[in-house]
Structure 1
Amino acid sequence: MSEAISPSPPRENRSVAIVVLLVLEAALVISWSAGFVGIRFAIDHAPIFLILLWRSLVSGLVLLPFALTMGPPLRWKDILPQIWFGALAMSGYLAGFALAIVFGVPTGLVALIADMLPLAVAILSWPVLGQALSARQWLGSFLGLAGVLIASGWSIDMGHVPLWAYGLPVLGTLSLALATLLQKRSPAGAMPVHRSLCVQCLSASAIFAMFAWHEGSVLPVLDWGFIGGVLWLVFVATFGAWSLYYIALRKSSPTRVTSVLYLSPPVTMIWAWLMFGEPLSWAMAAGLVVSLAGIVIVARSPAVLAGRTRDS
């Protein structure tokens, strides 16, 4: 009798794990999209790198007491990789897009390239992790990308800027993709999220400080629009989005986690519609449906499911 009922608990645990992962991914998409809202609030009140500096610095300082007191003593061999991950994941990713906007690349096009992160992870998975994607995963990734193109590509204006400037957001996307895969592979990736996020934010703030100083000042702007935007970016976009991103990465595969972010552009458009009155369109709705189809294909891939089971 005991042998007949023994498989039941594992199935129940698996169902609970799937539900938890879906809730986690939904929260990730919402909070990741909220980052654009914070930038929208603050960018009219301060230069972009000053915003990124204070977003990172305040986030790191808030987390610092918890990082120092919660858990075993910190060791340099664990801290140094996190500094490297912060330089790649936060500084490289955000600076690439910020510089592109500074040099005149249309914001819509920059956002569109940012949405190609899942494809960059898929391309780098084999050389970094030795994980070749299945045909089903490639199909899902390209469907997700197609949804993004349908939803937002129709409104893109290439503008008149130097050709090399378009490579900046591409480098930013590859930087985050590489950091994602390296952190998944590295033993330092097991550091508690509050500690890794603290180190990464502080390391990113040091890099952003140099860009902000070059722009003119590292001092905060005493304006409620700037302060409100930074606080939103700290508590929603950083503590929310990046924490959920790293937690989800530990519970699932990089391909699945980043594929879920294909939902970020349509959700961001809904945020913009609700908060700023920006128009919605049937193209956006169609893009959302196509992206959802791609995500479902990736999420149900046997390779992704197997990776999730091993990680959990």
Structure 2
Amino acid sequence: MNLLLSVAFVLCWSSGFVGAKLGTEDAGAVTILMWRFLPLAAVLAVAALALGRASWRGLTARDLGRQALIGLLSQSGYLLTVYWAIQLGVSSGTTALIDGTQPLVAGALAGPLLRQYVSGRQWLGLCLGLAGVALVTTADAGANSGVAWWTYLVPFAGMLSLVAATFLEQRSRTQVTPAVSMTVHCVTSALVFTGAALATGSAAPPSTSSFWIAIGWLVTLSTFGGYGLYWLVLRRSGVTKVNTLMFLMAPVTAVWGAAMFDEPFTPQTAAGLAVSLGAVAVVHSASPRAPQAHGHHPDEDQDEPGDGRRSPTRVTCRS
């Protein structure tokens, strides 16, 4: 089951880069993101009302505020930078490469922030994964030499935004169902992008059918598929392993591009895909080990007994 979820996550998440390329051919980043999230948020809000108060019972205003912040970082901040970078001329492969450095950042921070043990074998897999992603995207980055250097900082900022959201969620002590978190995240993004589109005069969608095909693609595959599976795999497998799967995004995006846009799929692309697959295998075969640190969690608050909040969970990387 974990293998199937991982495969589905990689395919759906990488489809977002393809959907961004489809959408930015007809409209700007803010317009696409507004129409991606506005109808989605409306549907999820209606569904939340239909489900009643059971899923929301026990959640405080602080819990909902934390979920809104997670959504702001993991959806609004991350997606805006990815779409904007592609709109500025950074290729989808290079954007995926920069996004693929996330596991190294998350792995470096997992110990001090989450008390997760990251073994030497896992670090080897992380470094192999970065090498595989670099193989796929090096030639593509060279072909985009006309793009201003600072544009490559845009997807890097988005990667950091997603890392921050991941750790914020992992340090939360309140269990929130996926349906509730998805609703809060999408409503937050809808408000952010609708406000930005109205403020910049870019709310009107283009009349082309390809734009709405891209929106349907992004809602179905990227949001429900990629984004939903990200949090599911994160809870089942831990932050290091789920972020290691990010190494597969660049080579898989290259496969998407070759199939849909006739982009070249070179032997270097195939080699990078093979190395990235090997990196994931190395990390997932690493021996489990218990966390090394104990004591007071830095994010612990002095909650009153019996307030319904669970104690902080120390997540351990397990293979």
1:114 touches 1:169 (CA, 8 Å); kept in 2?
A: yes
- Cα distance, 1:24–1:146 mapped onto 2, change above 3 Å: same
Question: 2:55 aligned to 63, 72, 75, which one?
Answer: 72
- Cα distance, 1:263–1:301 mapped onto 2, change above 3 Å: same
Q: For residues 289 and 215 of structure 2, what CA distance do their matches in structure 1 show?
A: 36
Q: Deviations over 1:56-105 (max 9, x none)?
A: 22222222222233333454233111100011111121222334445555
2:125 touches 2:279 (CA, 8 Å); kept in 1?
A: yes
Instruction: Provide the residue aligned with 1:144 in structure 2.
Output: 129
Q: For residues 302 and 179 of structure 1, what CA distance do their matches in structure 2 show?
A: 27
1:55 aligns with 2:55: no
Question: 2:194 aligned to 209, 212, 216, which one?
Answer: 209
Q: For residues 271 and 289 of structure 2, what CA distance do their matches in structure 1 show?
A: 26
- Cα distance, 1:287–1:104 mapped onto 2, change above 3 Å: closer
**How much identity, in percent, do the aligned residues show?**
37
1:252 aligns with 2:237: yes
2:98 touches 2:159 (CA, 8 Å); kept in 1?
A: yes
Instruction: Provide the residue aligned with 2:168 in structure 1.
Output: 182
- Cα distance, 1:126–1:284 mapped onto 2, change above 3 Å: same
Instruction: Provide the residue aligned with 1:284 in structure 2.
Output: 269
2:5 touches 2:229 (CA, 8 Å); kept in 1?
A: yes
- Structure (1 or 2) with the greater helix fraction: 1
Instruction: Provide the residue aligned with 1:14 in structure 2.
Output: none
Which secondary structure does the structure 1 equivalent of 2:62 belong to?
helix
Instruction: Provide the residue aligned with 2:305 in structure 1.
Output: none
- Cα distance, 1:265–1:255 mapped onto 2, change above 3 Å: same
Question: 1:37 aligned to 18, 21, 36, which one?
Answer: 18
Question: 2:182 aligned to 168, 184, 197, which one?
Answer: 197
* TM-superposed deviation, 1:248: 0.7
Root-mean-square deviation (CA), in Å?
2.5
1:268 aligns with 2:249: no
- Cα distance, 1:37–1:305 mapped onto 2, change above 3 Å: farther
Q: For residues 279 and 162 of structure 1, what CA distance do their matches in structure 2 show?
A: 24
* TM-superposed deviation, 1:209: 2.8
Unaligned runs of 5+ in 1: 1-19
* Equivalences, count: 292
Instruction: Provide the residue aligned with 1:86 in structure 2.
Output: 71
2:34 touches 2:197 (CA, 8 Å); kept in 1?
A: yes
1:303 aligns with 2:284: no
Amino acid at match of 1:169: P
- Cα distance, 1:273–1:25 mapped onto 2, change above 3 Å: same
- Cα distance, 1:237–1:103 mapped onto 2, change above 3 Å: closer
Question: 1:173 aligned to 148, 151, 159, which one?
Answer: 159
Amino acid at match of 2:211: F
Q: For residues 165 and 40 of structure 1, what CA distance do their matches in structure 2 show?
A: 16
2:128 touches 2:279 (CA, 8 Å); kept in 1?
A: yes
* TM-superposed deviation, 1:29: 0.7
Q: How does 1:96-115 map to 2 (within 5 A)?
A: 96-102=81-87, 105=90, 107-115=92-100
Unaligned runs of 5+ in 2: 292-313
1:59 touches 1:239 (CA, 8 Å); kept in 2?
A: no
1:143 touches 1:291 (CA, 8 Å); kept in 2?
A: yes
- Cα distance, 1:106–1:247 mapped onto 2, change above 3 Å: closer
- Cα distance, 1:163–1:281 mapped onto 2, change above 3 Å: closer
Q: For residues 253 and 152 of structure 2, what CA distance do their matches in structure 1 show?
A: 22
2:81 touches 2:154 (CA, 8 Å); kept in 1?
A: yes
When the two structures are superposed, what TM-score results if normalisation uses the length of structure 1?
A: 0.84
- Cα distance, 1:116–1:193 mapped onto 2, change above 3 Å: same
Q: Tell which deviates more after alignment, 296-305 or 227-236.
A: 296-305
Which secondary structure does the structure 2 equivalent of 1:198 belong to?
helix
Q: For residues 284 and 83 of structure 2, what CA distance do their matches in structure 1 show?
A: 31
